[in-house]
Amino acid sequence: MHPNALTRRSFLRQTGVNVGRIALGSLLLGATPLLRADSGGLLAPKKPHFAPKAKRVIHLFMAGAPSHLDLFDHKPELAKLEGKPLPESVIGGQRFAFIRSDAAVMGPRFAFKQHGQSGASLAEVLPHTASVADDLCIIRSLKTDQFNHAPAQIFLNTGFAQPGRPSIGSWALYGLGSDTQELPAYVVMSTGAGISGGSANWSSGFMPTVLSGVRFRNQGDPILDTSNPTGVDVALQKDTIDLVGGMNRERLALMGDPEIATRIAQYEMAFKLQTSAPDLMDLKGESKETLELYGCDPDKPSFNRACLLARRMIERGVRFINIYHEGWDAHSDLVGNHKGKCGETDQGAAALVKDLKRRGLLDDTLVIWGGEFGRTPMVESNSALGRSMGRDHHPHAFTMWMAGGGVKPGITFGATDDLGYQVVQDPVHVHDLQATILHLLGFDHERLTYHTAGRDFRLTDVHGHVVKGILA
């Protein structure tokens, strides 16, 4: 193009601001929901395809992958085979991340017991979870395509193993909008040392960034850059936001860039968060009984405290919440690792289910617990790496549980073989899980699409089936 040539947009801008705005507005009106007068923006409340069972989601993500064999899927046969390699007919030439295929079998490390009227079989290190067994839908037949942490975490959250796709929370906001004007509609908390997949797990990908998850910190200001500097009072802050917002709106009307709309929304939300976030994070108003139920110190960061905050968030209209608790990657000392991690998370997760139920919130709140894959029936011992009595990554079978939000309570769905190696009944692929979550939120996963790069994208790509056997 000649350096002096006019683009169509430049021509419209230079031949009259009003003409340019009318022309651009008409072009962009159908191109982006942010500019549609009848939509109120991407975060305006919207109706799903059909009546939803769940209005909100709390996803308790156990990053690092808990062992299904030692917590939820008891396999006595492994104890009989301990110290021996699995038959080649079972392995089938499969390669593993850190062990050889002929590694010795390791039996279950904890005792199991049945609980509740449902008779759910749970390990002894989950006593609080056992107390809500009849509220849980335990899915023992999950499987994934990924066997390393970062791609598996991103795959479970976005339907794609590489960064760049929208997360489940972003799809939920895109389809349903927000129920709150005072807090972010999609909140992310982390109660461990780090997440392998990083922010790609809660990114909005190719969607406008207003649909991304907002990270809340455990200490200090829950969100960075929302506190006023010395000498700036509320009135001055509001005047500044109004001035910047007005300028951004003029630019939005001229350019039609969705990211400008995101910037406007984020400035306004940050201003509101200066009052709403401290109120949310202040747990001193919670009763002693509630704090004891969760087993949390109101001033000390922990997974249990994050679960209580999650309950407070959904009461305030937050649509989607991720709580990541890292550190389940038990390549060595599985007993010590899982005792520790269960001790950190068991009470909070169970308390969340109990608290939601007694407040009448569980029926339309979907709670999800689980990691990105399972662990091998074989032991991992590597003296060079200082590892012993652990388990390797296992994508072929793992367990998650769900509660509330339209799933059947008190059931165990699916099954693995006698060694916990392969799914043999009612397989649930990660894409099936995603399709089911969207279904519970009121969406046909094949119809909830976003057009970009010349085609329609969806969370489940070209895969996925709703798991009808777990629907209430």
State pLDDT tens for residues 61-96.
Answer: 999 999 999 999 999 999 999 999 998 888 888 888
Q: Are residues 54 and 33 in the same domain?
A: no
CATH (domain of 146): 3.40.720.10
Question: Is residue 247 one of the residues assigned to a domain?
Answer: no
Q: Are residues 20 and 94 in the same domain?
A: no
pLDDT above 80 (res 23)? no
Phi and psi angles of residue 449, each rounded to the nearest 5 degrees, phi first: -125, 160
Question: Is residue 334 one of the residues assigned to a domain?
Answer: yes
Question: Is residue 391 one of the residues assigned to a domain?
Answer: yes
pLDDT above 70 (res 274)? no
Structure tokens at 28: 């962009």
Q: Are residues 140 and 162 in the same domain?
A: yes
pLDDT above 50 (res 185)? yes
One DSSP character per residue, 229-244 reads: PTT--HHHHHHHHHHH
pLDDT above 70 (res 434)? yes
Question: Is residue 276 one of the residues assigned to a domain?
Answer: no
Q: What is the pLDDT of residue 39?
A: 34
Q: What is the pLDDT of residue 240?
A: 73
One DSSP character per residue, 294-309 reads: HT--TTS--HHHHHHH
Mean pLDDT of 207-219: 88
Neighbouring residues of 30: CB distance < 8 A, sequence distance ≥ 6? 36
Question: Is residue 284 one of the residues assigned to a domain?
Answer: no
Distance (Å, whole) CA 320 – CA 56: 6
Please name the helix (run of DSSP H) or strand (run of DSSP E) that holds residue 336, with its range, or none. helix 334-358
Collapsing DSSP to helix, strand or coil, 455 comes out as strand
Distance (Å, whole) CA 212 – CA 202: 6
Overall number of domains in the chain: 2
pLDDT above 60 (res 99)? yes
pLDDT above 60 (res 285)? yes
The parent domain of residue 433 ranges over 42-221+291-470
Weakest mean pLDDT among 42-56, 270-284, 440-454: 270-284
Tell which wins on pLDDT, 156 or 12. Answer: 156
Q: What is the pLDDT of residue 14?
A: 47
Q: What is the pLDDT of residue 25?
A: 37
Question: Is residue 296 one of the residues assigned to a domain?
Answer: yes
Q: What is the pTM of this model?
A: 0.85
Q: Are residues 19 and 113 in the same domain?
A: no
pLDDT tier, 273 (very low <50, low <70, confident <90, very high otherwise): low
Q: Are residues 116 and 16 in the same domain?
A: no
Question: Is residue 255 one of the residues assigned to a domain?
Answer: no
Question: Is residue 242 one of the residues assigned to a domain?
Answer: no
Q: Quick: pLDDT tens for 324-370.
A: 999 999 999 999 999 999 999 999 999 999 999 999 999 999 999 99
pLDDT above 60 (res 382)? yes
